Structure 1
Amino acid sequence: MTVSSTGSSTGSSIETSTGSSTVFSTVLRSEWTKFRTIRATGYVLAGAFVTALFYGFLFGTANGRAYLGASAEDQASFDPVVTAFRGLFLAQLLVSATGVLAVTSEYASGTMRTSATVVPRRGRLLAGKAALVALILLPCGPLIALGSFLISQATLTAQDVPSVTLTDPGVPGAIVGAGLYLTLIGLYGVAMGFLIRRTAGATALGSFLLLLPAMASLFPDWLARWVLTYWPTAAGMTLFTPSPVTDALPPSLGFTVLATTVLALLLAALTLFRSRDI
């Protein structure tokens, strides 16, 4: 993956307010300049939206066919909202990669040292990157979820399979919850970027951990149940799962598990960022 270093000169343009302290709003503006001038971040985030649309269509088609061939009992338990967000399981990998690239692109281009010199408080620099990623994903996350929802439901409708609309109960909340989930996944990517410092390594390890619930069938029953209930991504997905599986955490607790995990990773990243050389 080629990373543009156009934003390499932006760090030196940050103005300091007290000699050793940099105004946070100025740090945030600088991070925004870096983000939008590094082409890979925009492409990867756009890829997350395309992935959500593509897999929304595929899952809508596949689940519609499964519904038409199912028994009356299985048809009665069919939940079209579940189909709406299945594509996010893969789109989240690109959302996480967006957070990773917001950090590792500077390590790759060698400008992280400049940024850390201009913003000597490394906690403020890390917070600026995390805040910028969160501010971008807070609106983009719901849009990604909305795209997946609309195309999956249109696909179900085209097959004369039960579907839902935006005005149905629980749907707006599920879209907002999915957007919040993706925002936390982006922050997870930021943490992995600071912890690993290499795009390939952070993306590979981050993706493996995100997809671990999909491997639950390979584990002993007791471990599979634990992973499907308490693993941070599985817990966080209750934010947009309308009919959680048996023993699943309630959405508020699922959010707490995921948010606490992301916060812990960011704190670990901050500790390493402060203690080691760039």
Structure 2
Amino acid sequence: MSTITTTPAGHLRGDPEPASESARFLRVLHSEWTKIRTLRSTFYTLAVFVVLAVGMTAVITVGSGGEYAEMAAEERAAFDPLELSMFSLIFAQLAVAVLGVLVMTNEYATGMIGPSLMAVPRRGHLLAAKTIAYTLLAGLAGIPTAFAMFLTGQVILDMQGAPSAALIDDGVLETVVGAGLYFTALGPIAVSVGTLLRSTAGGVATLVAGLLLAPSLTGTLPETWAEPVQKYYPTLAGAQFVIDHPAGLGPWAGFGLMCAFAAVLVAAAFVVLRRRDG
């Protein structure tokens, strides 16, 4: 008597096993990582980022170091070689933000969002892959650039006979690494803003206002308002590695607040992407 063997519906003997969710996501992540790395806009924007970061550090330390010999005793006591070499973070962060916005808005501008969503029907996978890929890129660019800022500034200050710092000095390594982590945390924030607004101009304008204009205006607020705003404003809190606020949360707590803010933005972007482009 012969035995009849049945094959479960949806899977024929000899067919490849269906890929798991994690395997499919890893393929999407690899695709997005390749896409980000090979775009010319990525190369140009990262070049601007490095030039802004290191170039502005050179300008700031050349000016401050050259004036050190003529400073009064009080000014010399307040001279901070570490902060001088890392202050260009304020300007360089804009390049990281712009590129992060472009990661998503370019998809809408070129009409590629449709094919992308057809290729990756699960909106969460697409957004997560883009966010992770760009955050990784921001970290790989941001952390070495932070070290380049520090070394450039200290070399210039030392050449001018002004006080300088070393990585082994108390708190220096934490500050330099923290600056790199700050650049990294900007990645998910920028991608989320690009997803929410779908407009390069709107996304860039929003981040310029949020990263530069709003923080600079906190000093004009009444003191009872200014202190809590400066303490809990996400990017000001995250930047405490570099720019200390006496009433702030502290560097690591402030960075944690910035990361929590980034997570909220990513969640909002996921909800909007699923409802709007679903």
Q: 1:195 to 1:17 in 2, by over 3 A?
A: farther
- Provide the residue aligned with 2:227 in structure 1: 225
Give, in whole Å, the separation in 2 of the partners of 1:17 and 1:114: 22
Give, in whole Å, the separation in 2 of the partners of 1:66 and 1:123: 53
AA aligned to 1:226 is: P
Q: 1:230 to 1:66 in 2, by over 3 A?
A: farther
Give, in whole Å, the separation in 2 of the partners of 1:266 and 1:74: 43
**Higher Cα Rg: structure 1 or 2?**
2
- Provide the residue aligned with 1:272 in structure 2: 272
AA aligned to 2:238 is: G
Q: Secondary structure at the match of 2:167?
A: coil
Q: 1:186 to 1:20 in 2, by over 3 A?
A: closer
- Provide the residue aligned with 1:147 in structure 2: 148
1:99-110 maps to which residues of 2 (within 5 A)? 99-110=100-111
- Provide the residue aligned with 1:4 in structure 2: none
- Provide the residue aligned with 1:120 in structure 2: 121
CA contact (8 A) 2:87 2:242 kept: no
Give, in whole Å, the separation in 2 of the partners of 1:121 and 1:21: 13
AA aligned to 1:224 is: A
1:161-176 maps to which residues of 2 (within 5 A)? 161-176=162-177
The offset of 1:66, in angstroms, is: 4.4
- Provide the residue aligned with 2:263 in structure 1: 263
Give, in whole Å, the separation in 1 of the partners of 2:245 and 2:107: 42
AA aligned to 1:193 is: G
- What percent identity do the matched residue pairs reach? 38
1:192-271 maps to which residues of 2 (within 5 A)? 192-211=193-212, 212-241=214-243, 244-271=244-271
The runs of 5 or more residues in structure 2 that have no matched partner are 1-16
Q: CA RMSD in A?
A: 2.0
The runs of 5 or more residues in structure 1 that have no matched partner are 1-15
TM value normalised by structure 2: 0.87
The offset of 1:57, in angstroms, is: 0.7
Give, in whole Å, the separation in 1 of the partners of 2:120 and 2:252: 36
Q: 1:179 to 1:21 in 2, by over 3 A?
A: closer
The offset of 1:25, in angstroms, is: 1.1
Give, in whole Å, the separation in 2 of the partners of 1:174 and 1:20: 39
AA aligned to 1:129 is: K
Higher mean displacement: 218-227 or 256-265: 218-227
The offset of 1:69, in angstroms, is: 3.1
Q: 1:26 to 1:67 in 2, by over 3 A?
A: same
- Provide the residue aligned with 2:55 in structure 1: 54
Q: 1:218 to 1:62 in 2, by over 3 A?
A: farther
AA aligned to 1:45 is: L
- Provide the residue aligned with 2:44 in structure 1: 43
CA displacement 1:14-68 (0-9 Å, x = unmatched): xx95599971110011102221232112211221111001110111123224433
Give, in whole Å, the separation in 2 of the partners of 1:75 and 1:180: 30
Q: 1:156 to 1:107 in 2, by over 3 A?
A: same
Figure out how many residues of one structure are paired with residues of the other and give that number: 261
The offset of 1:226, in angstroms, is: 2.8
